[in-house]
Structure 1
Amino acid sequence: MSELKVINLEGQLVTDSREVAEMIGKEHKELMRSIRQYSGVLTSAKLRSLDFFIPSYYNDAKKEQRPCFLLTRKGCDMVANKMIGDKGILFTAAYVTRFEEMENQIKQPISSTKALLQAALEQEERIGFVEGRVESLENNMRIDGGQEYRISKNGKSKVVECLGGIDTKAYKEISKRAFSQFWNEFKRYFEIPRYGELPKVRFDEALQFINEWSPNTAMRMEVKALNAQQHLPLGSEQQ
């Protein structure tokens, strides 16, 4: 079992979920799924999930940003409590030891000029790290459930509007294609696999996109023709 790395993030001791996954012999994506579940339960109980798990990001081998979590000691406690057998025991021993070592280092007084300078440099690096992390989170944080619902609702309303309403012939015959066209264009415009992956910073832009969207020319003509048939006088279609 590898040694767990613990860092001091603005006075909060944390460890990376990738480190934890490697230590407990679990795929990182599986641990991430579990942590999201724990966070959801905590939030539902009106507890601060950030006291346990802090959303973060890292750059993979392709220099692309990927999500991860920073676990506090409480977060490690929660993960350890879900484990059984030797791995759970060893993980508990490892994180308790590393967190205590870091806590003791923080408590030790800095007595020399060299140590003071080193501490100042480390603090500056941490500030830069945190500022970069905050900026990254702001730029890459995904929309929340409420915003996702609003995009879904507004998108559906826009498509229905462009088809003339849910009682029209166009809606009954081509709504499936219209919705497909809308969501495909939405995902292509924002370069995302699904609308729930939209970055928070582009939420207002997404609402504007929905407000200004309309089907392509061929579909607009098809909608017009179908709805015109619906309003023909009785018997005119047979003439």
Structure 2
Amino acid sequence: MTSLVILRDRQAVTTSLQVAEAFDKKHKDVLEAIDNKIQSAEISAHYQNMFVEGEYKDSRSRSQRMYYMNRDGFSFIAFGFTGSKADEFKLKYIRSFNKMEEHIKKQQLKLSDSPREKLRLMFEFQEEVADRVEAVESDVEYLKDNQLLTEPDYRTISTMVRNKIRIICTQQHLNSKAKTELFKDLNSSIKRITGAAARNRIKAKQFDEVVKFINNWMPSTATMTIIDQMDLLEDE
């Protein structure tokens, strides 16, 4: 892989090509994600400060679209990518941005002839370094708080849900229609306690809580009443 972050017009940037390669995405999908943000009518001007369109030559020497993006642009695009591998690359990019920006500041100090200007740049550099450290810590905390379930943990919860329903159906001699109602009840309960729209949107930090909940879960009175009513209808 080429350098994660490069210097362009005296600014630390990366490219849509590098992001696509690092996160194992199709380049056209990364382009589409950026296009959608830039075309957002409400804050398009803000996004345009983060992305600059450019070109590259493909393997057949044809000119193709790409984007340069600064740290903010990268954050808006990449922080939607999930998984442990994605998190690893996010943190690598953040460190690379910091390193390149530090290099730019040092070069500015070397090129400055005025002692006063050097002093001003030095203070400015120190302030920016402090801000970047705080930003990195904030980014890391955000990733920890919003990381979704890993695939193995998701499979574990799905298996636990199926087993829980199977055990209840076996113990109470319930049919397939009852099983459907139990699934609806349990899935709805998991959504309520996690705030997730679906099981695959549960956060990693909620895994233990969900496991404990499933182990202790019993169908609601309303669900059991519906099941009893279905049994009565079948007996008529």
TM-score band (shorter)? 0.5 to 0.7
Match of 1:110 in 2: 109
Q: Deviations over 1:155-176 (max 9, x none)?
A: 11111122225xx740434111
AA partner of residue 38 (structure 1): D
Match of 1:177 in 2: 181
Indicate the RMSD between aligned Cα atoms, in angstroms: 4.6
Match of 1:198 in 2: 202
Aligned partners of 1:105 and 1:113: how far apart in 2?
16
Normalized against structure 2, the TM-score is what? 0.53
Query: Does the CA-based 8 Å contact 2:185-2:223 persist in structure 1?
Result: no
AA partner of residue 110 (structure 1): L
Long gaps (5+) in structure 2: 27-39, 43-55, 70-96, 111-117
AA partner of residue 130 (structure 1): V
**SS at 2:214 equivalent:** helix
Query: Does the CA-based 8 Å contact 1:164-1:171 persist in structure 2?
Result: no
**SS at 1:87 equivalent:** strand
Match of 1:136 in 2: 142
Query: Does the CA-based 8 Å contact 2:146-2:203 persist in structure 1?
Result: yes
Aligned partners of 2:166 and 2:41: how far apart in 1?
44
Cα distance 1:84–1:137, how it changes in 2: closer, same or farther (>3 A)?
farther
Aligned partners of 1:151 and 1:36: how far apart in 2?
29
Aligned with 1:38 (options 16, 21, 24) = 24
Aligned partners of 1:197 and 1:82: how far apart in 2?
38
Q: By how many angstroms is 1:7 displaced? A: 8.8
Q: By how many angstroms is 1:122 displaced? A: 0.6
Query: Does the CA-based 8 Å contact 2:105-2:125 persist in structure 1?
Result: no
AA partner of residue 207 (structure 1): V
Aligned partners of 2:222 and 2:174: how far apart in 1?
13
Aligned partners of 1:123 and 1:83: how far apart in 2?
42
Query: Does the CA-based 8 Å contact 2:165-2:183 persist in structure 1?
Result: yes
Match of 1:87 in 2: 64
Aligned with 1:154 (options 153, 160, 173) = 160
The percentage of aligned residue pairs carrying the same residue is 20
Q: 1:210 and 2:214 equivalent?
A: yes
Match of 1:127 in 2: 133
Aligned partners of 1:201 and 1:126: how far apart in 2?
26
Aligned partners of 1:85 and 1:226: how far apart in 2?
65
